[in-house]
Amino acid sequence: PYPPFAARGDGAHVVDADGNRNVDYVMGYGPLLYGHDAPEPVQAAVQKYASDGPMYGMPTEVEVDHAEFVARHVPSVEMIRFVNSGTEATVSAVRLARGYTGRDKIVVMQGGYHGAQESTLVAGDPENPRPSTPGIPAEFAAHTLPVPFNDPAAAEAVFEEHGDEIAAVLVEPILANKGIVMPIDGYHERLRELCDDHGSLLVFDEVITGFRVGGLGCAQSKFGVTPDVTTFGKIVGGGFPVGAIGGRAEIVEQFTPSGDVFQSGTFSGHPVTVAAGHEYLKYAAENDVYEHVNRLGRRLREGIEDLVEDRAPGYTVVGTDSMFKTIFSRDAPADFDDHCEGGCRQREACPRYDACPKTGADVAAAEDDRWERIFWQEMKEQGVLLTANQFESQFVSYAHTDEDVEETLEAYKAAL
């Protein structure tokens, strides 16, 4: 009944406390782009900055270097503020949006995840929002408007009702914590239009997709939609505790001390973290990292699709770039002719389009208990470590090899 405890990592593998060696696709829930052995420049930077002193309570030059690197590559980022976690980034982004616009309400997606914060741990719908966990006053949830992902009509309706009260739409470019749900064509473009029409901010939460989807340009470059503000975590710190809020300079400048929206943190911009993140992303810019991980990700998804077609045609393979997952969806058609290869793309011509999950609720309606109780256990027994439930994304790293993929597909074949 207990989770495995990690003892150490080794490339694409993790060794648990019982000595079992597993091919690892959890990868720290995303940040370990290179697996458990970071490239030498990253390790050297960590050792240097750790030996120079644990922290200072003041800026360092490497923080500026890293900020400039992110701003050069991510379309939405002109200025960036480093914090200590993805949750802290989204908390600060919500406060920034409210302070910048002078409004209180935030639109979020049902099934989206933005960290453990009061403004987004909200269930229900715009008429009846409610806290999704004990410990949050109902008054807090009243300022959050949850709508279904991929439902432009629902977004239009909430703006028609509350447009002059909405500070921001906070959305993951891909629902990445609820089974990897891709956007339908035009969805993010419509959110962009609604925000522009009503003076609200569009905030992309790229804590999971950032520097995983779309390479160094992140998911926003892949989809061609530029938000006003972007939140980051995970990879931007090379696997160390980190978060960041980037966006247009006129918005980010509203943070103290240049503006009036309070944001501060003693560990923010920690030199070891930003140095690791800087070397992490520089290495990706100078090597074939994304070509490698995206190729293996596609090979995994296509291989799993072949197995699903033969053994479990009701299931749906999802993912993009170096992310993948199998949704134990119910009653999907057995027709695989002209289907989306390499993961659901929300392509209307696909014969499985209607059964491909469009919202967080669609994923929640899958056979998640079967995944957790049976499938995950069976894969672990065969030496393949997946995320422990139906919802969390899985990730390929630069350390994975074609042999690892073949081993993984054999395990899927036996388990399915």
Q: Which residue numbers are catalytic?
A: 113, 205, 234
Q: Which two tokens stand for residue 273?
A: 């973290």
**CA-to-CA dists, residue 116 to 88, 90, 91, 189, angstroms:** 9, 9, 9, 28
**Sequence-ordered strand ranges (E) for 49-113:** 79-83, 105-110
HSE at residue 227, side-chain half, CA atoms within 13 A, is 30
> What burial class does residue 220 get, using C-beta atoms within 10 Å of its C-beta: 0-12 exposed, 13-18 middle, 19+ buried?
buried
SS3 letters across 344-395: CCCCCCCCCHHHCCCCHHHHHCCCHHHHHHHHHHHHHHCCEECCCCCCCCEE
Please enumerate in sequence order all residues whose Cβ is within 8 A of that of 394, keeping only pairs 6 or more positions apart, or say none.
Answer: 25, 26, 27, 319, 323, 324, 325, 386, 387
Cα separation, 295 vs 304, in Å, equals 14
Answer whether 109's CB lies under 8 Å from 172's CB.
yes
Cα separation, 216 vs 192, in Å, equals 22
The full DSSP string for 113-133 is: ---S-TTT-EES-TTS-EESS
Can you give the length of the chain in residues? 416
Tokens 């030059």 sit at which residue?
A: 61
Answer whether 318's CB lies under 8 Å from 341's CB.
no
